[in-house]
Amino acid sequence: MSNAISIRLETVFKSTLGIDAVPAGLSQKNCEAWDSVNHLNLILALEAEFDVAFEPEEIAAMQDLDTVKKQLAAKL
């Protein structure tokens, strides 16, 4: 994943989840703000930012930063 895309991705995470930094290993388990409502917001924000659409199965699987990156990279 290119640097520019990583930065855009981090920006989406920061503004959607209201967090200051996006550490490696970020996941629904270790981030309180990443709840089910923000998960929906995150998916909508990612789809708008990158002009992609995720499959329902992908949306369900995207529970940590690594998986989100992988799913996104596969679509770009």
Partner 1 sequence: MKLFVFRNATLEPFFPREETEFSGYGDISRVPENEEKICWFYTLPPDVSPKDGQPLVDDFLQKLRLVLPRVPADKRLELTRLAFPQNPPLVLADTRLRDAIHFYNAELEKIARERENALLREAPDFATDWRMWFLAQMPFSPAKKRAEKVPPRVPAVRKKCIVLDCDDTLWGGTLGEDGFSALKIGGDFPGNAFAFFQKKCVELAESGIILAICSKNNDADVCEVFEKHPAMILRREHISAWRVNWNDKAENIRQIAAELNIGLDSLVFVDNEARERERVAVAFGGIVATPEFPRHAYELPAFFEKLVDEFFRCEKLTAEDLSKTQQYRDAAARSEAARNFSSLEDYIASLEIRLLVAPADDFSLPRLAQLTQKTNQFNLTTRRRTETELRDFLACGNAVFSLSVADKIGDLGIVGESEISFSADKKIARIENFMLSCRALGRGIETAFAQRILCVLRERGVETVFAEYLPTAKNAPCKDFLPSFGFVCEDVAGTRFRLDLRTCGELEISPAYKFLSHE
* Binding footprint of partner 1 on the chain (CB under 8 A): 18, 37-38, 40-41, 44, 47-48, 53, 55-56, 59
Positive or negative torsion for Cα 18, 34, 40, 67: positive
Minimum CB separation of residue 12 from partner 1 in Å reads 13
Q: Which residue's CB is nearer to partner 1, number 11 or number 25?
A: 11
Longest dimension (CA), the chain: 29
Q: Please say whether the dihedral angle defined by the alpha carbons of residues 22, 63, 56 and 35, taken in this order, is positive or negative.
A: negative
Smallest separation, CB 44 to partner 1 (Å): 6
